[in-house]
Amino acid sequence: MPALSTSDIEIRLLIEAIYLRYNYDFRDYSAASQARRILHAVTQMECATVSELQSRVLHDADAFARLLQFLTIPTSEMFRDPAYFLALREQVVPFLKTYPSLKIWIAGCSTGEEVVSMAILLHEEGLLERCIVYATDINPQSLERARKGVYPLDRMDDYALSYQQAGGRARLSDYYTAAYGAALFDRSLFERISFSDHSLATDSVFSETHLVCCRNVLIYFNRGLQERALGLFHESLCHRGFLGLGSKESVDFSGHANLFEPLARSERIYRKSSPEKAQ
Ligand SMILES: C[S@@+](CC[C@H](N)C(=O)[O-])C[C@H]1O[C@@H](n2cnc3c(N)ncnc32)[C@H](O)[C@@H]1O
């Protein structure tokens, strides 16, 4: 076994300590980017070493809450990768319209921008009223912000452009009220959304769904955890259900490749294979 650096050993011990103390499992995340985030947290939290950070986190839950912001990458955008949302609208929605009721799971929803985008799309397609959207994440601060649906007003021009490119039928500004530098999204968009804590690393499937969206989350996982997450999505999806991933993520080359078939490969939208094709 190659010799580990002191910093690598400290990082492993920190991750183990977090698991034992707080039951958050970061043990199967991609090591290089996780190390970068931890070393950044060491500086930002004014610790001399990772070991000092470990001691702080073990004895102070507030310090852990702060570290969680570094470990979880709480970033998002509305209508991120507009071609993905356009493909959902044009190629997935026609199938979704055939169901009398729908369940959609947005895993790793962060601060909710992806959820609001989906709610607007579903509303414009006449589907929102027959949906339950489960929006899940492991970061309680992100979930709290997602529930509020309030975003900086200065992001709205960029988001409005993406919304138009994604096939938006109205103006993005029709869906929010501007006040004091913030955009407050219409509460009617949130009536069908259930936000909750769920970890792709430790929790199991909680519902059968027709569409699972998990974007820009698997890139932070190692191969084993990616397989676990894909397994959960496969188990959750109904017969011939749909899966949407992020632009740098794929089912191809995974152990689940034959369980999904590409519907819009370049937009990373897949469909659960029929059982005879999944052999
Ligand atoms: C970069 S954000 C992606 C947000 C959104 N899906 C998007 O594409 O705009 C990654 C999110 O994954 C969440 N996450 C990280 N590990 C997770 C896990 N084990 N289970 C569920 N969510 C996780 C983080 O908390 C973070 O909110």
* pLDDT tens, residue by residue, 19-71: 999 999 999 999 999 999 999 999 999 999 999 999 999 999 999 999 999 99
Q: Are residues 238 and 130 in the same domain?
A: yes
- For ligand 1, the distance from its centroid to the CA atom of residue 211, given in whole angstroms, is 17
Mutation test of ligand 1: which of 104, 138, 247 has the most ligand atoms closer than 8 Å to its C-beta? Answer: 138
Q: Are residues 118 and 67 in the same domain?
A: no
Beta bridge partners of 104: 133, 211
Ligand 1 neighbours by CB, cut-off 6 Å: 72-77, 80, 107-110, 113-114, 137-139, 142, 199-201, 215-217, 246
* pLDDT tens, residue by residue, 201-240: 999 999 999 999 999 999 999 999 999 999 999 999 999 9
76 within a domain of the structure (yes/no):
no
Q: Are residues 45 and 129 in the same domain?
A: no
Q: How confident is the model at residue 2 (pLDDT cuts 50, 70, 90)?
A: confident
Domain range spanning residue 12? 6-71
Q: How many domains does the chain fold into?
A: 2
Cα–Cα distances (Å) from 13 to 10, 54, 202, 213, in that order, read 5, 8, 19, 32
Question: Of 71, 90, 117, which one is at a domain's C-terminal end?
Answer: 71
Q: How far apart are CA 116 and CA 165, in angstroms?
A: 16
Q: Are residues 213 and 170 in the same domain?
A: yes
Q: Are residues 96 and 56 in the same domain?
A: no
**Contact of 129 with 100, CB cutoff 8 Å:** no
16 within a domain of the structure (yes/no):
yes
Q: Which atom of ligand 1 is nearest to the CA of 25?
A: 19
Average pLDDT value for the chain: 97
What's the whole-number mean pLDDT along residues 243-256?
A: 96
Which residue's alpha carbon is nearest to atom 11 within ligand 1?
Answer: 108
Q: Are residues 53 and 130 in the same domain?
A: no
Q: How far apart are CA 126 and CA 134, in angstroms?
A: 18
